[in-house]
């Protein structure tokens, strides 16, 4: 297995170069370069089918690339010898669907990965899980079943579950897309707090106001390529590319 090599904060925590990915004859990602610094909060926006979700799934190895290089803390994600447990521990991901185990309580859902993957002592894991529930404002739901929670509450449990592995990077794949407007805010508050605490975050999102307020850099994608990127004040305030302007005029 490939072990993490020394990494320092003067280098990107994620560095992707010349990434290509196809499904059959359909090219989804076309030669993308993408890097993120530790503590940076990045949003990837764009129309459906533009490769956004595929891109972030490549970062922690859930989706293999066809060619190119993805380094996470200097470790090549697509090396066949990479320690997948190390990778999944360091790069957490939260999906649009919560994927909670319905037959496990909220507390048990959060504890499962540290117990089974990290082999950590149950007492320590439970203490951390309860602290995470407090962090996402769900302390009173520890013994509830997922089916007893609202969508927004389930999504916050999913975030806590990822945080239980103590990742250095958090990926959010359209985590509010399946939520009703009333519960979107509570999930965005949780992500905002993580960003404020210095967590490196990459968000695929349709929440433009949130992206404008919280992120350091915004990337606009279309047809597998980055059309334009920059600070949110620039990209939303004075986009340079006609396609970016057209897209934003439809969603803002």
Which domain CATH number covers 62? 3.40.50.300
Position 84 in a domain: yes
pLDDT (average), residues 95-117: 94
The closest of 205, 208, 207, 231 to 218, measured between CA atoms, is 231
In a domain, 2, yes or no: no
CA 177 to each of CA 11, 142, 180: distance values in angstroms, whole numbers, following the listed order: 33, 25, 8
Q: How confident is the model at residue 114 (pLDDT cuts 50, 70, 90)?
A: very high
pLDDT surpasses 70 at 58: yes
Mean pLDDT, rounded, for 189-197: 93
| HSE toward the beta carbon, residue 221, CA cutoff 13 A | 28
Q: How confident is the model at residue 183 (pLDDT cuts 50, 70, 90)?
A: confident
The pLDDT, as a whole number, for residue 156 is: 95
Residue 180: what pLDDT? Answer: 87
In a domain, 210, yes or no: yes
Record the pTM.
0.93
Residue 238 banded pLDDT, cuts 50, 70, 90: very high
- Domain span holding position 240: 14-251
The total number of structural domains that make up the chain:
1
pLDDT value, residue 127 = 97
pLDDT at 4: 52
The confidence band for 9, taking pLDDT boundaries of 50, 70 and 90, is confident
Token duo for residue 159: 């975030």
What string of DSSP letters covers 12-62?
Answer: -SEEEEEEEEEETTEEEEEEEEEEE-TT-EEEEE-STTSSHHHHHHHHTTS
Confidence tier at 95 by pLDDT (50, 70, 90) = very high
- Give domain status of residue 72, yes or no: yes
pLDDT over 60 (residue 2): no
Give pLDDT, residue 181: 84
Average pLDDT in the 61-79 region? 94
Question: Does 34 have pLDDT greater than 80?
Answer: yes
Cβ atoms of residues 98 and 113 within 8 Å:
no
CB atoms within 10 A of CB 168: 17
Q: Tell me, yes or no, whether 86 lies in a domain.
A: yes
Q: What integer pLDDT is reported at residue 51 of this predicted model?
A: 92
Query: What's residue 7's pLDDT?
Result: 74
6 domain residue, yes or no: no
Q: pLDDT tens for residues 134-179?
A: 999 999 999 999 999 999 999 999 999 999 999 999 999 999 988 8
pLDDT for position 159: 96
Position 1 confidence tier, pLDDT thresholds 50, 70, 90: low
CA 23 – CA 29 distance, rounded (Å) = 10
- Structure-model confidence comparison of residues 7 and 48, the more confident one: 48
Q: Does residue 116 register a pLDDT over 80? A: yes
């Amino acid at each position: 297995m490939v072990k993490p090599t020394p990494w320092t904060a003067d280098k990107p925590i994620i560095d992707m170069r010349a990434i290509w990915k196809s499904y059959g004859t359909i090219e989804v990602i076309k030669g993308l370069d993408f890097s993120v610094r530790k503590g940076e909060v990045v949003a990837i926006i764009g129309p459906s089918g533009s490769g956004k979700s595929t891109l972030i799934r490549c970062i922690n190895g859930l989706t293999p690339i066809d060619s190119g290089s993805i380094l996470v803390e200097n470790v090549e994600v697509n090396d066949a010898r990479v320690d997948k447990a190390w990778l999944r521990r360091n790069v957490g991901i939260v999906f649009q669907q919560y994927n909670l185990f319905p037959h496990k309580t909220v507390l048990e859902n959060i504890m499962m990965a540290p117990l089974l993957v990290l082999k950590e002592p149950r007492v320590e894991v439970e203490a951390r899980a309860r602290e995470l529930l407090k962090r996402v404002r769900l302390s009173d739901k520890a013994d509830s079943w997922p089916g007893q929670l609202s969508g927004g509450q389930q999504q916050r449990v999913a975030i806590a579950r990822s945080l239980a592995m103590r990742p250095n990077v958090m990926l959010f794949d359209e985590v509010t897309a399946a939520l009703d407007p009333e519960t979107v805010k509570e999930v965005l508050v949780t992500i905002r707090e993580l960003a404020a605490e210095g967590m490196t975050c990459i968000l695929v999102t349709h929440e433009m106001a949130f992206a404008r307020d919280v992120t350091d850099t915004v990337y606009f994608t279309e047809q597998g390529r980055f059309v334009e990127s920059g600070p949110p004040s620039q990209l939303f305030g004075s986009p340079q590319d006609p396609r970016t302007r057209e897209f934003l005029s439809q969603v803002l």
